[in-house]
Amino acid sequence: MTAEVFDPRALRDAFGAFATGVTVVTASDAAGKPIGFTANSFTSVSLDPPLLLVCLAKSSRNYDSMTSAGRFAINVLSETQKDVSNTFARPVEDRFATVDWRLGRDGCPIFSDVAAWFECSMQDIIEAGDHVIIIGRVTAFENSGLNGLGYARGGYFTPRLAGKAVSAAVEGEIRLGAVLEQQGAVFLAGNETLSLPNCTVEGGDPARTLAAYLEQLTGLNVTIGFLYSVYEDKSDGRQNIVYHALASDGAPRQGRFLRPAELAAAKFSSSATADIINRFVLESSIGNFGMYFGDETGGTVHPIAKKDVHS
């Protein structure tokens, strides 16, 4: 039988449609040095006995140390810990110097301010293609009650804030917009006066409606990411929901993509559009996004904030 051959990036993007939490898996290596990596391929397995699993790539720099460790911990990150996720997803030499942590009862690194943590003994390691499935038996845990950090379609989100936008979407006609990005450039409609692409929806799935509209407008493949802005336009009383979205490579059939340097001199159709674009350019430069709630004149940005941490 011939095995199916898929485009790895397309398959990865499809897997990314499933919203998950974000964890950092930690252990101590043979020399007692703390090790850790970011993972969203985590799930509970059994209550009796108490089992969980996480998947680890065989190409990971932590592969040998993790698979030989007798114990490990799962730190379920809270909604303020995007910076922790990013740190442990990158090849930073001294990752643990940037977080507040302690050793658990069984010698595994436990982070402060996480939504929950689980310390485990190694139950089994199962071969699974280019990954292994690590099954752990829970020996200790704690649930802080903090909201967890979410991840879907290549972007972070906080379930509490996302829920506010979803509830708004069922109350009437909604104007949907998008900060549609392609390799750092942002898509805008219009000629001299530019605007974000937008459409309206009553009921249904806002993200699916928006994706279909953007693909018809641009002729490109579009992936809807995280919620970026939710605001009421006082002039007409309509709710506006703006998502971040990613476009495939290629020239759009309408509109154009502008780089950050070009956006600085652009003329926008409204102050709300200008505010959204200016905030996006700033947040892109520092790699830390927030979600805006308010109206077209004022509101609050709820960032997935960076925290002051120490070793």
Mean pLDDT, range 171-195, rounded to an integer: 86
Both 27 and 84 in one domain: the answer is: yes
Residue 18 in any domain: the answer is yes
Whether pLDDT at 101 is above 90: yes
Residue 126 in any domain: the answer is yes
Q: How far apart are CA 35 and CA 39, in angstroms?
A: 13
pLDDT at 56: 92
Mean pLDDT, range 156-176, rounded to an integer: 59
Both 148 and 163 in one domain: the answer is: no
Which of 92, 121, 152 is the last residue in one of the domains?
A: 152
pLDDT at 305: 39
Residue 311 in any domain: the answer is no
Residue 2 in any domain: the answer is no
CATH of the domain at 216: 3.90.79.10
pLDDT in tens, 268-299: 988 888 988 998 888 888 767 776 676 555 66
Q: How far apart are CA 139 and CA 118, in angstroms?
A: 8
Both 294 and 163 in one domain: the answer is: yes
Whether pLDDT at 304 is above 60: no
Q: Could you tell me how far CA 310 lies from the centroid of its own chain?
A: 24
Query: 24 or 230: whose pLDDT is higher?
Result: 24
Both 191 and 281 in one domain: the answer is: yes
Which of 119, 152, 185 is the last residue in one of the domains?
A: 152
Taking Cα atoms as reference points, which of 310, 311, 305 lies closest to residue 77?
305
Both 38 and 122 in one domain: the answer is: yes
Both 139 and 165 in one domain: the answer is: no
Both 142 and 170 in one domain: the answer is: no
pLDDT at 203: 62
Domain total in the chain = 2
Residue 309 in any domain: the answer is no
Q: Is 244 exposed, middle or buried (0-12, 13-18, 19+ CB in 10 A)?
A: buried
CATH of the domain at 55: 2.30.110.10
Both 242 and 190 in one domain: the answer is: yes
Which of 152, 178, 206 is the last residue in one of the domains?
A: 152
Residue 66 in any domain: the answer is yes
Residue 310 in any domain: the answer is no
pLDDT at 307: 32
Domain span including residue 182: 159-303
CA distances 225 to 18, 61, 105, 157, Å, are 11, 29, 39, 9
Taking Cα atoms as reference points, which of 248, 177, 185 lies closest to residue 213?
177
Both 234 and 185 in one domain: the answer is: yes
pLDDT at 86: 87
Whether pLDDT at 1 is above 50: no
Exposure string (b/e) for 110-139, b if CB count within 10 Å is 16 or more? bbebbbbbbbbebbeeeeeeebbebbbbbb
pLDDT at 50: 94
Both 141 and 188 in one domain: the answer is: no
Residue 1 in any domain: the answer is no
pLDDT at 166: 52
Q: To the nearest whole number, what is the mean pLDDT of the chain?
A: 83
pLDDT in tens, 194-236: 999 999 876 666 778 888 999 999 999 998 877 788 877 766 6
CA distances 223 to 94, 176, 238, 244, 276, Å, are 34, 15, 25, 9, 19
pTM (2 decimals)?
A: 0.58
Among 91-100, 240-249, 257-266, where is mean pLDDT lowest? Answer: 91-100
Both 168 and 283 in one domain: the answer is: yes
The model's confidence at residue 104, banded by pLDDT at 50, 70 and 90, is very high
